Amino acid sequence: MRDPRYDVLFEPVRIGPVTARNRFFQVPHCNGMGYRDPSAQAAMRRVKAEGGWAVVCTEQVEIHPTSDITPFIELRLWDDADIPALARISEQIHVGGALAGIELAHNGMNSPNLYSREVPLGPAHLPVATWTYDPVQARAMTRADIADLRRWHRAAVGRALTAGFDLVYVYAGHALGGLHHFLSRRYNDRTDEYGGSLENRVRLLREILTDTREAVDGRAAVACRITIDELIGEPGITAAETHDIVGMLAELPDLWDFVLGSWEDDSVTSRFGPEAGQEQYVSGLKRLTTKPVVGVGRFTSPDTMVRQIRAGILDLIGAARPSIADPFLPRKIETGDLAGIRECIGCNICVSDDFTSSPIRCTQNPSMGEEFRRGWHPERIAPRRTDARVLVAGAGPAGLEAARALGQRGYQVVLAEARRELGGRVARESALPGLHAWHRVVEYREQQLRRMPNVTTYLQSPIDADDVIEYGFEHVVVATGARWRADGVGRWHTSPLPVPDGAPQILTPDDLMAGQRPDGEQVVVFDDDHYYLGGVLAELLGASGYRVRLVTPAAHVSAWTANTLELVRIRQRVLKSGVQVDLNRVLTGLGPAGVITSCVFTGEQQEVGTDAVVMVTARLPIDALGAELDARKPEWAGAGLRSVRVIGDAWAPATIAAAVWSGRRYAEELDEPQAPVSVPFRREVTALAPDLP
């Protein structure tokens, strides 16, 4: 059972008229499901409540059509028609035994209103503050607009109560909640009673908090979510100002929820920020109020959590990502199963789904987002239907998860790995600068496999088709991964680059991860992959003293990491490593003394001297085992072999998250009857209006 050291985490906390059963608080977080997938969201939140979180919140909920943040998919509470979806979410959170929180939001200048076509509203006449540079301006709100906003917010509070929520947020954080724009000198240039002095800039927040208190009338708690420091110095909200704001409004909300800077700062990845990284900013705020305080910090260690409470920094341990990676984190601490915690690796794949308007997924927790769609659960899986024995070849993220989940189902499993260590690409990539936390993907699964007497793991055991035919397994899973190409083929070049005599040395990411280094001093990294690896390898080589030039056809280094909130920090780090960055250029040829790069727009060519080139372009599946077994199908029956399935990167190279998911899918579906449907998951389809105008 639980270690008494952690008892403090299980003390109830009073939040105004309601009581949290412990100190674990799932703060609002986006999930890419929102109004499109309400039942999927309801099931996802219920699982977290079941996992022991005392409070489970929605993401930001748009309160009005002037707060439409299309193309992002969040929840909406525009009118009564939206209540049933919200009611289902709160009901499911209650089924799990938690309090249901709702983050009401008017996004102000962060809403381009592309769907509603309403004119955005803000404190000033300024372009909307969106990630997508929408060619739209917000209009400075008049007093009448402010009165409207207050009315809309009150109406939304009423609807939130009808929908059954216990805790209602007023959102002034991340430069996403519109109240943030009023607080910040960066956006608020007003000369009326809502601008100028701090007292004036706080006025609207005070009014909305007061309205909300009145509207809930003791039936729900009121939370205020506010940015501690915009991290841009004097033009923005500073920590000193936030101290003053909290001093002014200290007892008005029932709960303070502190966030740091913009979303990029608040949800910093493990590559750029440690656990509890916000401590220095949150410290001291609790002294300004008697009301409970919640904050985040990618908390996964119970000792760190206890320290936050004992040191008087937080009252409630806030978590978005740790609750995504392990919805049962509180229960595991409560039952003393610390080794069973699936720790968040801080990769922000979960965040990327919000940016791509796709349902949330998680590298560590393949069931995230699949609770309703496929009926998956983070801790439970159906028992095996047969006594079949399964051989899993390859212990990368796909093979490890397949073996773990098959083992949990009760199958007899052999996991055979060619190398000396488990983890495949994760073992190698986590040794690169800043990616150490990613090794948790391996550690969690290794730990689980150790507990399973029905799973046997063999290292240094490359499997070939003869082995499979000889050993007599009923099912074989080929999870043998992929290798990086050296021929330049990727998005730009779809056929190999010619390599003339005397061309510079060509290396792949696999070569570098295996410890090989360029001959000579100069190296070109050609990144046509656009996720993290090109940037990481440039950083690695730059920090090792090479003269590095990163060439990419994209307009940014590691362009896709805009979706993981890392774009700016990656660029900063690459530049600090002394790397020269050539954007919008493509490597078009190899010559005796270097390479030729061309402008992607004009084709203008440049010769670049270099000793070596690292091709970060694309991968090829290592699927020979699957292909050979397929060719030997006539021998299967004699060997007792019934199925061979290729999964993960060996089937089609993708993210680590996709590899883990494919392992889970294999295990979920083995021996299960497959319904004859074309869509292999549950979804909700928009209800048609009864008639057309």
Residues labelled as active-site residues: 30, 171, 174, 266
Phi, psi of 495 (to 5 degrees): -135, 155
Question: Smallest Cα–Cα separation from 148: which of 77, 66, 75?
Answer: 66
Out of 27, 61, 226, 347, the only residue in the binding site for ligand SF4 (CB under 6 A) is 347
Establish if 460 lies at the interface with ligand ADP (CB under 6 A). Answer: no
User: In Å, how far are 348, 439, 537, 602, 647 from 654, measured between CA atoms?
Assistant: 15, 18, 18, 32, 11
Pair 77, 410: CB distance under 8 Å: no
Q: With beta carbons less than 8 A apart as the criterion, state whether 124 and 187 touch.
A: yes
Least Å from the CB of residue 394 to ligand ADP: 3
Using the contact rule CB under 6 A, the part of the chain among 203-211, 223-231, 417-425, 678-686 near ligand ADP is: 417-425
Here's the x/- map for ligand ADP, 370-409, by CB under 6 A: it reads as -----------------------xxxxxxx----------
**Residue 419 touches ligand ADP, criterion: CB under 6 A:** yes
User: Which partner in ligand SF4, ligand ADP, none is near 622 (CB below 5 to 8 A by kind)?
Assistant: ligand ADP
**CB-based contact 363:345 (threshold 8 Å):** yes
Structure-token match 């409970």, residue found = 292
What's the min distance (Å) between Cβ of 628 and ligand ADP? 10
Among positions 491-510, residues that touch ligand ADP (CB under 6 A) are none
Q: Which is nearer to ligand SF4, 415 or 658 (CB)?
A: 658
| Partner interacting with residue 349 (select from ligand ADP, ligand SF4, none; CB below 5-8 Å by kind) | ligand SF4
The span from the CA of 628 to the CA of 632, in Å, is 6
Q: Which of 278, 299, 300, 176 is nearest to 226 (CA)?
A: 176
CA atoms of 64 and 354, how far apart (whole Å):
20
DSSP one-letter string for 5-32? GGGGGGS-EEETTEEESSSEEE-----S
Whose tokens are 């049962």? That residue is: 328
User: Considering Cα of 405, then 410, then 411, then 415, what sign does the dihedral take?
Assistant: positive
Cα-based angle 585, 590, 593 (whole degrees, multiple of 5) = 110
Of positions 77, 260, 432, 479, contacts ligand ADP by CB under 6 A: 479
At which residue do the structure tokens 């990294």 appear? 525
479's contact among ligand ADP, ligand SF4, none, with CB below 5 to 8 A by partner kind, is ligand ADP
> Which 641-680 positions form the footprint of ligand ADP (CB under 6 A)?
648-650, 659
CB of 397 to ligand ADP, least distance (A): 4
Q: Pairing mode, if any, of strands 137-140 and 643-646?
A: unpaired
Q: Quick check: 308 binds ligand ADP (CB under 6 A)? A: no
Taking the least distance from each CB to ligand ADP, the nearer of 154 and 419 is 419
Residue nearer to ligand SF4 on the CB measure, 22 or 348? 348
User: At closest approach, how far in Å is the CB of 363 from ligand SF4?
Assistant: 4
The HSE-up count of residue 574 (CA atoms within 13 Å, CB side) is: 25
Please say whether the beta carbons of 45 and 103 come within 8 A: no
Nearer to ligand SF4, 332 or 493 (CB): 332
Whole-number minimum distance, CB 325 to ligand SF4, in Å?
4
Preceding peptide of 500 cis, ω within 30°: no
**Would you give the end-to-end CA distance of the chain in angstroms?**
63
Site for ligand SF4 in 241-300 (CB under 6 A): none
Give the whole-angstrom CA distance, residue 435 versus residue 608.
30
User: What is the smallest separation between the CB atom of 320 and ligand SF4, expressed in angstroms?
Assistant: 8
Contacted entry of ligand SF4, ligand ADP, none for residue 350, CB cut-off 5 to 8 Å set by kind: ligand SF4
For residue 463 the two structure tokens come to 């499997």
Scanning 47-55, 356-364, 528-536, 684-692 for contacts with ligand SF4 by CB under 6 A, the matching segment is 356-364
Q: Which value, in Å, is the radius of gyration of the alpha carbons in the chain?
A: 27
Q: Which 420-439 residues touch ligand ADP, going by CB under 6 A?
A: 424-425
Query: Considering the rule CB under 6 A, would residue 324 count as an interface residue with ligand SF4?
Result: yes
Task: Find the length of the chain.
Answer: 693
Q: Is residue 349 part of the contact set for ligand SF4 (CB under 6 A)?
A: yes
Cα distances from 44 to residues 34, 195, 378, 408, in angstroms, run: 12, 41, 10, 21
Q: Is position 366 an interface residue for ligand ADP (rule: CB under 6 A)? A: no
Rounded to a whole number of angstroms, the minimum distance from the CB of residue 510 to ligand ADP is: 9
Q: Which does 462 bind (CB under 5 to 8 A by kind): ligand ADP, ligand SF4, none?
A: ligand ADP
Name the site residues for ligand SF4 (rule: CB under 6 A): 321, 324-325, 344-350, 362-364
Name the site residues for ligand ADP (rule: CB under 6 A): 393-399, 416-419, 424-425, 462-463, 479-482, 622, 625, 648-650, 659
